[in-house]
């Protein structure tokens, strides 16, 4: 990836983070709810997909040859909505309705009410099975689009996702790419303290998956891993993206406390007062934009 493209994608990721904070500010005022850490941490992955790798068309969202993106960990949907809006599926101004009553931007995505949403998600652990079903239908239809499935580390504490992983490996499904947000947080605390997953990579390899570990906030590494995954045949691929939850907002980074809480809801130790949290977050994101523009990264 050349420097101009990398800079463009970094600016997109920065803009997505800005939109996420604005959407969560709206969610806080609408219903006092929302997830922050995961969406901010996955902004680089979603940017690389929607603006570099994913074959999609907002003017024809039901194109039968489009790639499919299945979001299993639906609680991070703020990053999906921001990516879709920035891609042109709906106006960015609608993000302010996030989690409000009668909004199209529900707290978990709902297929059929918003263009670009491929699956309804909510209960964790189901998305991989949904993605496998789509991949099987694709093969029956003799199509060659790619099915991407976004999952989380916490939901891998559930048994049904491992049944799906075993099935996909046994069927040697091509062009099924799982990207896991391995950020080591869940609502009750760090994943490795709540229910450890290691040796995670070895588990997937034992189920006949090809596994790639990357820095999930390095756009070059994300893109290279996706390219490698698309070129690999005869088995599904999992990209283990080690992300920093709350990426881009210093008082949120690495803290599980921001897993399921929007900025501005309440005072949190180590964070600005609740009335200042949104303002500080947007200021830091804007400062990061300036650094990208000035090539200080």
pLDDT tens for residues 280-295?
999 999 999 999 999 8
- The verdict on whether omega for the bond into residue 199 sits within 30 degrees of 0, i.e. cis, is yes
What pLDDT is attached to residue 44?
Answer: 98
Instruction: Give the residue-averaged pLDDT of 48-67.
Output: 98
Instruction: Give the residue-averaged pLDDT of 229-243.
Output: 97
Instruction: Give the residue-averaged pLDDT of 187-195.
Output: 94
Position 136 pLDDT exceeds 70: yes
Domain that holds residue 84: 3-293
- Considering its fold, how many domains does the chain have in total? 1
Spatial distance between the Cα atoms of 254 and 183, rounded to a whole number of angstroms: 8
Judge contact between 45 and 98, C-beta under 8 A.
Answer: no
Does the pTM surpass 0.95? The reply is yes
What pLDDT is attached to residue 296?
Answer: 58
**Contacts of residue 61, Cβ cutoff 8 Å, sequence gap at least 6:** 89, 115, 116
Position 297 pLDDT exceeds 80: no
pLDDT band at 115 (very low <50, low <70, confident <90, very high): very high
pLDDT band at 70 (very low <50, low <70, confident <90, very high): very high
Judge contact between 89 and 63, C-beta under 8 A.
Answer: no
- Average pLDDT over the chain, rounded to whole? 97
CATH number at residue 41: 3.40.50.970
pLDDT band at 214 (very low <50, low <70, confident <90, very high): very high
Spatial distance between the Cα atoms of 184 and 138, rounded to a whole number of angstroms: 33
């Amino acid at each position: 990836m050349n420097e101009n493209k990398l800079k463009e994608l970094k600016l997109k990721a920065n803009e997505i983070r800005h939109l996420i904070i604005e959407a969560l500010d709206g969610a806080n005022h609408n219903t006092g709810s929302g997830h922050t850490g995961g969406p901010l941490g996955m902004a680089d992955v979603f940017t690389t997909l929607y603006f570099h790798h994913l074959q999609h068309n907002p003017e024809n969202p039901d194109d039968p040859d489009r790639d499919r993106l299945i979001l299993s960990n639906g609680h991070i949907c703020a990053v999906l909505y921001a990516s879709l809006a920035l891609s042109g599926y709906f106006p960015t101004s609608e993000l302010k309705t996030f989690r409000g009553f009668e909004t199209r931007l529900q707290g978990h995505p709902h297929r059929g009410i918003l263009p670009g949403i491929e699956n309804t998600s909510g209960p964790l652990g189901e998305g991989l099975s949904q993605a496998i079903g789509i991949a099987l239908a694709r093969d029956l239809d003799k199509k060659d689009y790619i099915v991407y499935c976004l999952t989380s580390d916490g939901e891998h504490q559930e048994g049904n996702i491992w049944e799906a992983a075993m099935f996909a490996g046994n069927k040697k499904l091509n062009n099924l790419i799982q990207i896991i947000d391995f950020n080591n947080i869940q609502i009750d605390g760090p994943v490795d303290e709540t229910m450890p997953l290691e040796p995670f990579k070895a588990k997937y390899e034992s189920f006949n998956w090809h596994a790639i570990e990357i820095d999930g906030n390095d756009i070059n590494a994300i893109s290279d891993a996706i390219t490698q995954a698309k070129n690999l045949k005869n088995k599904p691929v999992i990209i283990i993206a080690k992300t920093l939850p709350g990426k881009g907002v210093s008082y949120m980074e690495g803290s599980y406390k921001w897993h399921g809480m929007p900025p501005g809801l309440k005072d949190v130790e180590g964070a600005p007062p609740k009335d200042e949290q949104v303002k500080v977050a947007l200021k830091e994101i804007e400062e990061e934009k300036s650094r990208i523009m000035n090539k200080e990264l």
